[in-house]
Amino acid sequence: MNNITIGQYIPGESWLHKLDPRVKLLSLVILLVGTFIIPISSDMMPMIVMGSILIGVLILTASTGIPMKKVINGLRPIVFLLTFTFFIQLFYVRTGSLIASYEMYISLTSILGIILFIMFYNFTKRYVKTRILYFFFAAFMVFFIQAVLPYISLTSYTLNIYDEGLLRAGFIFVRITNVIIMTSLLTFTTMTTDLNYGIEALLKPLKAIKVPVDVIAMMLSLTLRYIPTLLGETEKIMKAQASRGVDFKESKFKDKVIQIISLLIPVFVISFKRAEDLGNAMEVRGYVIGAKRTKIDEYSIGFLDVATLLFAGLFLFGIIYMMVIL
């Protein structure tokens, strides 16, 4: 549970921490739009641009003083999606030049080798610190075992890798990584109260068409705020059940289903209790839905905020220029 970084705020004094939350939100939207409109093509230019964005995002992360381990842990929930997407693009894109061809064997020996390796992986992964890289290595080994163990062959197939498939796989992998890191930096460097203010300010024009902007902003900020809290409560319940002999890792599938149900019930009870306590606290403090509210801190746009917006705008303009002109 400690490896899940969604909604966590890391206090700091970096320039990104000091940015106006409205500027951070708007800049993030601009950067995400620019990242997603970069087209996938057989040309190397989009991949070079996407790789340059990744380098820029890593430099941005280093400038904030946020531990890189925290950022990498933010990728853990989607590591399976990244791996699955990478191999699907790599193996099923049949356009471009053929760069490698391998004869893969589904045999008694390869099946046995894969089973033994999976058992070895499950036993050793708890001792490996960089589990994301270890998972990628495990996925590679599944195919490697099929290639080197042809004995007592049941059937075989040819695995062809094309340059465009490799290019597309790497492009999508880097794009998803960029998006996750950029959105993680927002929650790492912005408190939920500031996020609430930023969302409400950016959506303020929608009030003209009777959209309850303040309510939507409050809901989003409370959701982000209570994700780490509920994860912490879940971890406490898991430890309490483990002290009573429940093993969430080594149990059979049927036992795991029962254990998950026994875990979800107290989590839901705690969630409803916290929601009720929060509602009572907000009511005691005079919170009225739809009423005009004052703020302790009033933000003002400074030079650094303007420079950040200009950089985000130039980034989007450069991407559009690359698509239209080049």
The three-class DSSP label of residue 286 is coil
Alpha carbon dihedral 124, 128, 130, 135, in 10-degree steps, equals: 0
25 & 141 share domain: yes
Q: How many residues appear in the chain?
A: 326
Q: Would you say residue 1 lies in a domain? A: no
Is 283 found in the same domain as 309? no
Residue 218 lies in a domain: no
Evaluate whether 98 touches 162 at the Cβ level (below 8 Å): yes
Do 197 and 264 lie in one domain? The reply is: no
Residue 2 within a domain: no
Q: Which segments in the chain show pLDDT lower than 50?
A: 1
- Tens digit of each residue's pLDDT (9 = 90 or more) over 157-166: 777 888 888 8
Tokens of 85: 């997407």
Domain count, the chain: 2
Distance of alpha carbon 48 from alpha carbon 318, whole angstroms: 14
- Which residue in this structure is represented by tokens 């075989």? 156
Kindly state whether residues 35 and 160 are assigned to the same domain. Answer: yes
Give 192's contacts (C-beta < 8 A, 6+ positions apart): 7, 9, 221, 222, 224, 225
The pLDDT value recorded for residue 252 is 64
Domain boundaries, position 190: 15-212+296-324
Q: For residue 172, tell me if it sits in a domain.
A: yes
161 and 242, same structural domain? no
Q: Are residues 36 and 92 in the same domain?
A: yes
Per the domain annotation, does 222 fall within a domain? Answer: no
Query: Tokens 């009720």 sit at which residue?
Result: 276
Question: How is residue 25 written in tokens?
Answer: 């939100």
- pLDDT of 153: 65
Report yes or no: 178 and 35 within 8 Å, Cβ to Cβ: yes
Residues 317, 195 share a domain:
yes
Looking at residue 4, its pLDDT comes to 55
pLDDT at 307: 92
pLDDT tens by residue, 36-73: 998 877 678 888 889 999 999 999 888 888 888 788 77
Q: Are residues 166 and 285 in the same domain?
A: no
Same domain for 183 and 54? yes
Alpha-carbon span 177 to 194, nearest angstrom: 25
Do 174 and 74 lie in a common domain?
yes
pLDDT confidence of residue 72 = 78
pLDDT at 249: 62
237 and 128 in a common domain: no
The confidence score (pLDDT) of residue 26 equals: 92
Residue-averaged pLDDT of the chain: 81
Q: What is the pLDDT of residue 220?
A: 78
| Cα 318 to the center of its chain, rounded Å | 26
Backbone angles phi, psi at 234, to 5 degrees: -60, -40
Residues 85 and 190 grouped into a single domain: yes
Give domain status of residue 84, yes or no. yes
Burial class (CB in 10 A: 0-12, 13-18, 19+), 222: middle
Query: 3-state SS of the chain: helix, strand, coil percent to 5?
Result: 70, 5, 25
